[in-house]
Amino acid sequence: MRLVGLATLALCAAGASHAADKQVVTFAAASFAEPARGEKMRAWIGKFNQSQDKVEIQPVTIPFSSFSSTIFTQMGGNAGPDLVRFDLPEFYAAVDAKRLAPIDDVIADGAFPLTGPDKYMKVGGARYGVVFEVSNYAMVFNKNLLKDKAPTNFDEFVAAAKAATAAGNYGYAYRATMAERGGFWYDLCNYVYGFGGRWSDAQGNPTINSAKVIEGVAAYKKMYDAAATPKGADAATYRRMFAEGKVAIQIDNGGVAANLATAAKGFEVGAGPSPFPTRAQGMILAPISINANSKNKAAAGAFLKWMLTPEAQRDLQLIHGASSVAIAVPRSEEEVAKWPWITVYDQQTAHSVPALPQGLEVKAPEIQQIVIEQVIRVLQGGVDPAKAMNDAQQTVLTRVLKR
pLDDT mean over 185-204: 97
Instruction: Please answer whether residues 243 and 154 qualify as being in contact, where contact means their C-beta atoms are separated by less than 8 angstroms.
Output: no
pTM for this predicted structure? 0.91
Instruction: Please answer whether residues 143 and 160 qualify as being in contact, where contact means their C-beta atoms are separated by less than 8 angstroms.
Output: no
Instruction: Please answer whether residues 369 and 395 qualify as being in contact, where contact means their C-beta atoms are separated by less than 8 angstroms.
Output: no
- Predicted confidence band of residue 148 (pLDDT cuts 50, 70, 90): low
pLDDT computed for residue 182 by the predictor: 94
**What's the CA gap between 298 and 301, in Å, rounded?**
5
Asked whether the domain spanning 137-282+356-400 has the same topology as the one spanning 2-134+284-353, the reply is yes
**What's the CA gap between 250 and 187, in Å, rounded?**
10
328 — alpha (psi -120 to 50), left (phi > 0) or beta?
beta
Cα angle 110, 114, 120 (rounded to 5 degrees) comes to 100
What average pLDDT does the chain have? 94
Give the fold, CATH level 3, of 2-134+284-353: D-Maltodextrin-Binding Protein; domain 2 (3.40.190)
Go through the chain and tell me how many residues it has.
403
**What's the CA gap between 112 and 4, in Å, rounded?**
36
**Which residue, among 99, 96, 95, has the nearest Cα to 81 in the 3D structure?**
99
pLDDT mean over 357-382: 97
pLDDT in tens, 233-285: 999 999 999 999 999 999 999 999 999 999 999 999 999 999 999 999 999 99
Lowest mean pLDDT of 10-19, 79-88, 100-109, 196-205, name the range. Answer: 10-19
Query: End-to-end distance of the chain based on CA atoms, in angstroms?
Result: 38
- What is the architecture, at CATH level 2, of domain 137-282+356-400? 3-Layer(aba) Sandwich (3.40)
Tell whether the model's pLDDT for residue 62 goes beyond 50.
yes
Return the domain boundaries, the chain: 2-134+284-353, 137-282+356-400
Cα within 13 Å of Cα(392), Cβ side? 30
pLDDT computed for residue 20 by the predictor: 55
pLDDT in tens, 300-333: 999 999 999 999 999 999 999 999 999 999 999 9
Cα within 13 Å of Cα(216), Cβ side? 29
- Predicted confidence band of residue 21 (pLDDT cuts 50, 70, 90): confident
Lowest mean pLDDT of 6-15, 17-26, 87-96, 355-364, name the range. Answer: 6-15
